[in-house]
Amino acid sequence: MQPTFLRAGQRHHSHRFRPRNFLGHSLREIAAEKAGIIKPGIPVVIAEQRDEAREVLLAKARELNAPLVETQATFAIESQNIAEGRVRSLIKEIASGNKYQLNPQLAGRFQLQNALNAVAATRVLQSQEFQIADNAIEQGVATAVWRAASKKSTRIRTFTSTVHTILPRA
């Protein structure tokens, strides 16, 4: 089984490329399109959502009997600060009590949500007997890079409302 990660919100877009041109004109329509990646019985990790998007994603997961992990209900942030534009957080998985020091090298406060998504997806894989050490979670978050982030352009803004599927190594 491969867990699926969904985020229906949007970050940035240019005037020429708007998500509504492809996915819908309302947050509900966009969430419904994104929910199309949910597969029967496959675990889904859902990042924090606006209520209207969350309702659509939850309904689709229930309809397809897809186990659901919501990051905002799964983790508690015990401490958080920003150093040199990068978030530094100690989080606790509520059910297990496991703690993780998350120090993404990518800049921006929103990287904490991305890190929580990665931790949640990894915990799903661990529950399915994938051999992933807990310290590898922290190391993975700390060393993750986004190659496109190094190529800055003043004319191009990036639409980052993508749907990700985490694939196990073959």
Token pair for 82: 């920003």
User: Is residue 49 scored above 80 in pLDDT?
Assistant: yes
Cα dihedral across residues 168, 151, 102, 7: positive or negative: negative
Using CB atoms within 10 Å of the CB of residue 56, give its burial: 0 to 12 exposed, 13 to 18 middle, 19+ buried.
Answer: buried
User: In this predicted model, what pLDDT tens digit does every residue of 100-139 receive, in sequence order?
Assistant: 999 999 999 889 999 999 999 999 999 998 999 989 999 9
Q: What is the pLDDT of residue 146?
A: 73
pTM: 0.73
Percent of the chain with pLDDT over 90: 55
- Above 70 in pLDDT, residue 19? no
Pairing assessment for the beta strands 75-83 and 86-93 based on DSSP bridges? antiparallel
Domains within the chain, CATH numbers bracketed: 4-165 (3.40.1190.10)
Residues near 45 by beta carbon (within 8 Å), at least 6 away in sequence: 3, 4, 5, 6, 69, 71, 117, 120, 121, 124
